Structure formats: C-alpha cells, structure tokens
Amino acid sequence: MLDWEKIYATRAKRMGASEIRELLKLLDQPDIISFAGGIPDPALFPNEAFQAAYNDILSGPEAGQALQYSVSEGYPRLREWIVKRMRARGIDADLGNIFITSGSQQALDYLGKLMLSPGDTALVSWPTYLGALQAFNAYEPRYDRLDLSRNVEPQAYAAAAERAGSRVKFAYLSADFANPTGESLTPMEREKLLDIADALDIAVIEDAAYRALRYEGERQKTLLAMDCERSGGIENTRTLYCGSFSKTLSPGLRVGWVCAATPIIKRLVLAKQAADLHSPTINQMAIARVAEADFEDQAEKINTVYRERRDAMLKALSDYMPAGVDWTRPEGGMFVWLTLPESMDAAALLPVSLKTAKVAFVPGNAFYADGSGRNHLRLSFSCSAPEVIDEGIRRLGAVLTEELAAVA
C-alpha cells in the first residue's frame, strides 16, 4: 500500500483542511440560527431568467458551441458586457483586458500560481479573506501584514521581506465591503495602497467580489480605475481586478473575471489552458444573457433585501450587545465584524453559543494569516430574515453578557 504522504509535494503541507469550512458543515442545522455562512440567499436567485437563458442557448444556433470545447479566455459576448461595465467605472478596458475564470476564487489561485515562488511575500490585511490565504498557500508564500491605517514606510515591507530572504510580489485586498469585516477603504487609503505598490514596484490584487452590494453611501472608485488615472491607462497599470457574478446572479455557475493589463491576461490564459482548458461555455452564455437583460434590476432587488437585513443586524447589535463589544457598520457586503474584549476567545465562545443560544458565527482567527485575532468574530446577515436576525443577536447578546460577567 502506497504511503501517500511520501508522494506529496512539499506544498501539500500547506493545503490542509480549513477549520472554518469544516465548521460550516456542522453549523447549518435547522434548529440553529446561523450567521456563519457567507453565501447569497438562494431565494433571490433569478431562476426564471436562467431557465429562459439555458432554453434559449440549447434551442438556438449556439447549442453546438455551448457544449463544445472553447477558448481559454472566455465567451466573447460575456467579455463584451464586462468591458462595458468596466468602462462605465472609468477603466479603459478592451476585450483583451478581460479573462473569464471559474469564480474569483480561481482568479486568486491562478494569480498565486503565476506570481508566487516558495518564500515570496504576499501583503495581506489582518484580517483578510480566508479563501485567498487558502489559494495562495498552495504556492508556499510568506505573508506580511499590510496596514493602511498606520503610516508604514513602503520600504519597510521590502526590508522585512529581505531580512526573511524573500521579496514582495503583490498586495492582496478587497477595497469594498471586505470579507470578513464588511469595511471599505477610504479614498485616501486607496491612494496610499497604490503609492506603496508603486514604491515597491509590485502588483495589486483587487478582490471586488462584494462590490455590487452597496446599501448606502457613494460608490468609491475601484483601485484599478484609480491606477488607470494615475498611470495613464490600463496597459500601464499594476492592478489585477477580480470580479465575480457569485454575489449578484449565481455562485453555483462559477463565473468571475480578471480585468488587467494585457501581458498578464495573456499569462492567465496560458495558465488556464494548462489547468482546465476553459470555464464551461454554457454557463458563461447564460450569465451573459441574464446580465444583459437583468443585471441592474437584480442588483437592486438583492440590495433592497440585504439592506433591510444589515439594518436589522446593526439595530439588534445596538439593542442587545453588552458594553465592551464593538462592531463595524458596513455600507454594503454581507458581514459585520465584532470585536470582543482582548481577553476573550471567539473560538472558545462558539460551542457555548451553539449550546446555550443555538446561534452560530465564525471565530475571527480563521481570517488572520498568523492565526491571531481571537477576540473577533464574523456575522453574516445575508441569509436571515430581519426577525430571525433580531432573535439571534438577542441570544448572542445574552451569551456575551454572561461571558463578560464571568470574566469581570
């Protein structure tokens, strides 16, 4: 019998099970109020529009093309739609700047694959999207903390990398409604990030997965749009914009995209050709049809529902949370991020909450590259009705009140 451990590459050591994903499997039980998931509400999916789209595709002249092998860069009609959308955001993109991926998770995988040799440094925020760490981990990077709230000299990142025998390859972050905090970068922080990237001469991966989910406030410029302005056009930019239809139309179809300068788009196309040939054409065709006909209406529909749920969660937090607990007030996205007193450990709190309150959340340490952040937790409001949110937060508030009393 083969000892599989002996046969694995060194990178396999860092491709372990994610605590949080294992956890999520256990948390979705019917009698539990779960704020743990970070998924769209399936009741909001445009099922009928998709049904009409698949029918149209498979009964029409594109049926053969829908089921056949295709080009790695993606379905041109969908890429055209994306071009228009990017242009409306001040980005001078053309068809050659758009690359279709199987969700933005795949974009992160391919970008890690293209840029990270073992030991290379990726700058990420503390906390950051867990799935980005998982995607990059397969390429054995070193992480350093990108902190835009303090005045860190750009060269400090380079110097720290050099001391570790490494070099910085890119900064990764979500500028709008980040997972897990729900927060967005201010315009000044966006400029600062691009200043750092310029000074270090590195790439920037802009994860825009939640960008369309805005419930209040003014739309901010994307990092890529700012980069275009600063550098004189998309071909001079260093920003790799990763978009997704997962939060707006459907995550199950796995359709996302990268918008960037053509040299790296060409590399991504080659990476995809070698890795899975192309994303399923039929789903790209369906997304193109539904996006063309319904994108704005669909975005408005989900934003109306999610806004109400966010409001319900913020109100409930303010009604039920004990003193000493703080939280973010996101203008969009799916998450609120709680900060407990330093002495508390959200991972230890979870079983208590599940048992006594039947409320689930995700402990914060999962989102830290160094496993710190134990006094934080993530709540998602996307899949619960306002009255359920109120009840769940009331119960969680009671648990926290009791725990804080025990600590005091």
Take residue 127 and report the two structure tokens written for it. 């906390």
379 closest CA partner among 31, 34, 119, 61: 34
Identify the residue among 238, 374, 376, 378 touching its own copies (CB under 8 A). 238
Give 170 or 320: the residue with its C-beta nearer to its own copies. 170
The CA distances from residue 260 to 17, 94, 189, 225, in Å, are 32, 10, 21, 11
List residues bridging with 379 in a β-sheet.
Answer: 336
Q: Which residue in 36, 86, 109, 332 binds its own copies (CB under 8 A)?
A: 109
Residues in the chain: 408
Least distance between its own copies and beta carbon 32 (Å) = 18
- Which tokens go with 299? 């975005």
Residue 318 in the binding site for its own copies (CB under 8 A)? no
In the complex, least distance from residue 259 CB atom to its own copies, rounded to whole angstroms: 15
Place of tokens 């040939």: 277
DSSP states of 192-217: HHHHHHHHHT-EEEEE-TTTT-B-SS
Q: Which of 77, 80, 96, 113 is close enough to bind its own copies by CB under 8 A?
A: 113
Q: With helix as H, strand as E and coil as C, how does 115-138 read?
A: HCCCCCEEEECCCCCHHHHHHHHC
Q: Which of 1, 188, 405, 408 binds its own copies (CB under 8 A)?
A: 1
> What is the smallest separation between the CB atom of 149 and its own copies, expressed in angstroms?
26
CA angle 36, 31, 385 (to 5 degrees): 60
Answer whether 11's CB lies under 8 Å from 335's CB: no
Q: Which of 8, 94, 147, 164 binds its own copies (CB under 8 A)?
A: 8
89, 142, 169, 309: which one binds its own copies (CB under 8 A): 169
By the rule CB under 8 A, 193 interacts with its own copies: no
Which CB, 97 or 134, lies closer to its own copies?
134
Candidates 34, 125, 134, 181; binder of its own copies (CB under 8 A) is 134
Nearer to its own copies, 59 or 151 (CB): 59
Strands 335-339 and 326-327: antiparallel
Residue number, 288 or 357, with CB nearest to its own copies:
288
CA distance 168 to 275: 25
User: How many positions of this chain bind its own copies (CB under 8 A)?
Assistant: 88
Q: Cα separation of 381 and 386, whole Å?
A: 9
Is residue 267 within the footprint of its own copies (CB under 8 A)? yes
Least gap, CB of 261 to its own copies (angstroms): 8
Sites for its own copies among residues 11-70 (CB under 8 A): 11-12, 15-18, 21, 39-40, 42-43, 45, 47-48, 50-51, 54-55, 58-59, 63-70
Site string for its own copies, 276-315 (x = CB under 8 A): xxxxxxxx--------------------------------
The reply to whether 398 sits near its own copies by the rule CB under 8 A is no
Task: Write out the binding residues for its own copies, residues 373-392 only, by CB under 8 A.
Answer: none
User: What distance in Å separates the CA atoms of residue 327 and residue 386, rounded to the nearest whole number?
Assistant: 18
103 sits near its own copies (criterion: CB under 8 A): yes
| Cβ burial 270-286 (10 Å sphere, 16+ → b, else e) | ebbeeeeebbbbbbbbb
Q: Find the binder of its own copies among 34, 97, 105, 166 (CB under 8 A).
A: 105
Residues 73-102 touching its own copies, rule: CB under 8 A, are 101-102
| Residue 112 exposed, middle or buried by CB count within 10 Å (0-12, 13-18, 19+) | buried
Cis peptide, bond prior to residue 180, ω within 30 of zero: yes
Nearest residue to 388 (alpha-carbon basis) of 312, 337, 319, 328: 312
Residue 131 or 332 with smaller CB distance to its own copies:
131
Scanning the structure block, which residue is given the tokens 């080009």?
71
Would you give the binding string for its own copies spanning residues 204-233, x where CB under 8 A is met?
A: ---------------------------x--
Give the whole-angstrom CA distance, residue 195 versus residue 186.
Answer: 14
Q: CB 30 → its own copies: shortest distance, Å?
A: 16
From 89-97, 106-114, 185-193, 335-343, span contacting its own copies (CB under 8 A): 106-114
